[in-house]
Chain A
Amino acid sequence: MSKYMLIMRGTDESNAALMAGFEELAASTYQYIEELVKAGVFLAAEGLDDPGQSVVIDFNGAAPVVTDGPYGETKELFGGYFMIDVASKQEAVEWAKRIPAVTGSKIEVRRVAGDDEMPAFVEERADSETTGRI
């Protein structure tokens, strides 16, 4: 078992499409979350505000430098996430495939690392984490 973050990455085009069909998408998203809850795997979900409103803090110099965002390329911005608690990576992928996502957007599936996963621990990690074997 592991926690996974399903990261929604939208493009300018998919974000525009999202806004156009927002109500319908919101309804199917609520339904999707309901399914996650009933399956006992839901932990959290949030959607982020317009990336144009973001602020970036840069730690390159002696003092942090604050600039207006968005961060990096606007091709595939981090727009929101679902946090789920599942038995295997395959299960996380299966849930990710069911996200009501707008055409053109992508979902990235990333495992949450435990704080015991320092290099010394990594080799010892039970294969249950990767295979979902109980």
Chain B
Amino acid sequence: MDAADVEAVWRIESARIVAALTRFTGDFGLAEDAAQEAVAEALVSWPVEAPSSPAGWLMATARRRAIDAIRRRAALQDRYALLAAEPEAAFGVEEEADPDRIDDDILALMFVSCHPVLSPEARVALTLRVVGGLSSEQIARAFLVPVPTVQARITRAKKTIAAAGVPFELPPADQRRERLGGVLSVLYVIFTEGSTATSGDRLVRPDVAYEAIRLARTLAALQPDEPEVYGLLALCELTAARFPARTAADGSPILLEDQDRRRWDRSAIRRGLAALAKASPRGLGPYGLQAAIAAAHATAPSVEATDWDRIVVLYEVLGRVAPSPVVELNRAVAVAMASGPAQALAIVDELIASDRLPGSHLVPTVRGELLARLGRRPEARAELELAARLCTNERERSVLVRKAAALG
């Protein structure tokens, strides 16, 4: 077995192992360290001699490391005495563990990793590492930041969790929904980074987006009664369905109206629509609404045949449920498609007047498009040039530069 094999087993087992160790030691930071030590050990010993049960080996080794760590901590002596008195089986390695207990522990792990005491960046890094089983190197590659930065975020996050005394448990019922919203927004941030890379030379990074989808599926399996989890899952599936058509062979972006819709992933669309159906037992939440918009695109045979009126209405509702300048801007685009650029321009100008998206390249991008459609070429060109200057994704920027130049 080589490093890639170890990595594969770890991706499958990490959440379960860290969750069980946290339950066992009552110390999330210690559990995570012990788990990482076990992986490091596997990387050394498996290539020489592969264990017959890799999962069991990891769990047993991590558990030993955790006990070693506890032994080293005088403060936890009494707890150690308690553990030492317990039989091996208390740890659920040798005997059948209660599956519901494991599910709750993995869920608790997600809530801890996305805890509001942590910075948004730390939540993302911790979730990918402990729930997703990614290494610091992989997370650094995914977010185009240096490896030490990721390591520092994770170390700080573990300290913060310890200092705040965050308990390893499911949030109480009265906080559950709000905390779940926190988990969803972390997964959404990860997905967004994959589906519209904020920087770098690639527009779409499907591997990053995939991690978010995988975690959203896990969350849906563990929290089957939460409509917004399905809303997020539907949004991710329906958005990712368009990936195969979004970039040309040379990596340049292909806009929605120019995409070859035959290349959209039909199975992903079907999965997305199925998730969307589960997301709306009593009206849609913010993610469900965005998924419904994605569904309107995914089920339309062409841009012209898209139900733009419905999309406008969905954006209006979304603007009331979860107001944001980006939603407003998207509404403007939909209004332009449904009833022409003049009305849309009024929405965009209002956005600019209230200065709610300062420094974003999106506002001048949309404004430039609208002006071009209204035949106001010099103004349009100036807007698109401004957008190109503000845009941090190289692929997107080159499209903007080309468009501006075409306006002569």
Contact = CB atoms under 8 A, between A and B. Distances in A.
Contacts of A39: 12, 214, 218
Contacts of A116: 244, 249, 263
A88 interface: yes
Q: Which range holds the interface residue count of chain A?
A: 20 to 34
A38 B54 CA distance: 19
A78 to B, nearest CB: 20
B33 interface: no
Interface stretch (B118-126, B169-177, B204-212, B325-333): B204-212
Contacts of B222: 38
Nearest to A131: B4
B322 interface: no
Contact of B211 (A42, A114, A134): A134
Interface string A44-87: 00000000000000000000000000000000000000000101
A90 B5 contact: yes
Interface string B210-234: 1101111110011000000000000
Contact of B210 (A85, A93, A95, A133): A85
B221 A1 contact: no
A103 interface: no
From DSSP, what is the main secondary structure of chain B's interface residues? helix
A132 interface: yes
A124 B216 CA distance: 30
B377 interface: no
A94 interface: yes
A18 interface: no
Interface in A92-124: 93-95, 114-116, 120-121, 124
B138 A91 contact: no
Nearest to B267: A43
Given A38-B103, A132-B7, 4 more contacts: A1-B210, A40-B218, A114-B244, A131-B4
Interface of B: 4-5, 7-9, 11-12, 54, 103, 106, 134, 138-139, 141-142, 206-208, 210-211, 213-218, 221-222, 244, 249, 263, 267, 271
Interface of A: 1, 37-43, 85, 87-88, 90-91, 93-95, 114-116, 120-121, 124, 128, 131-134
The 6 A-B pairs at the shortest CB distance, nearest first, are namely: A40-B217, A90-B8, A1-B210, A40-B214, A91-B8, A40-B218
